[in-house]
Amino acid sequence: MEEIVNRRISEVLKGDQNAFSEIVELYKDKVYQLCYRMLGNSHEAEDIAQEAFIRAYVNIDRYNTNRKFSTWLYRIATNLCIDRIRKKKPDYYLDAEIAGTDGLTMYSQVAAEGVEPVDEVAGMELQNEIQREISNLPDKYRSVIVLKYIEELSLNEISEILDLPLGTVKTRIHRGREALRKRLRHY
């Protein structure tokens, strides 16, 4: 897989834009999932995942082919997600009108989320609950938990993606697990 990716990258470097579509195709689900679990909603996840690929394309000449491409790509995506989380925090007031909706505020949005169709599969509900608990984690724990348990990456890769010492990654995973244990023990 890495070999195919590296071949496509050298084609992109030569200026062949179309070679990049294969790279997007290979990683889109992983990157989208990462963004979705980090951000907790599909609209933002799509937005940020696309942005991650565009950044990767624009900066492709800075990618070091001796390292794993996925690590580099996840790093871009994770950083974009963290930026987005930090930016949106202060302006997410419940009574703020949601852009593009007619007088719809976050109150109605929250209410709508609470009332789910009766025939909705119980599994879906549990999924949403779990996602909500992941979203409630502080972002430094959230990123390590998502990379470890959703993307199934090794601790070493996580430390490379987040540019953190291995010890810090371990501590954060432990804290993240503790937080999840407290929140999910009743399920």
Which residues are near other proteins by CB under 8 A?
Answer: 14-18, 20-21, 24-25, 28-29, 31-33, 36-37, 42, 46, 49-50, 53-54, 57-58, 126-127, 130-131, 134, 145, 149-150, 155, 170, 173-174, 177-178, 180-181, 183-185, 187
Please list, in sequence order, all residues whose beta carbon lies within 8 angstroms of the beta carbon of residue 26, skipping any fewer than 6 positions away.
1, 4, 5
Burial annotation 132-167 (CB, 10 A radius, 16+ → b, else e) = eebeebebebbbbbbbbeebebeeebbbbbbebeee
Q: 63 or 149: whose CB is closer to other proteins?
A: 149
Query: If you compute the radius of gyration of the chain from its CA atoms, what whole number of angstroms results?
Result: 19
Minimum separation from the CB atom of position 146 to other proteins (A): 9
Minimum separation from the CB atom of position 81 to other proteins (A): 15
Q: 14 or 89: whose CB is closer to other proteins?
A: 14
187 vs 10: CA distance, rounded Å: 49
Taking the CA atoms of 96, 102, 107 and 112 in sequence, report the sign of the dihedral they define: negative
Minimum separation from the CB atom of position 142 to other proteins (A): 11
- 105, β-bridge pairs: 97
Q: 21 or 101: whose CB is closer to other proteins?
A: 21
Minimum separation from the CB atom of position 96 to other proteins (A): 26
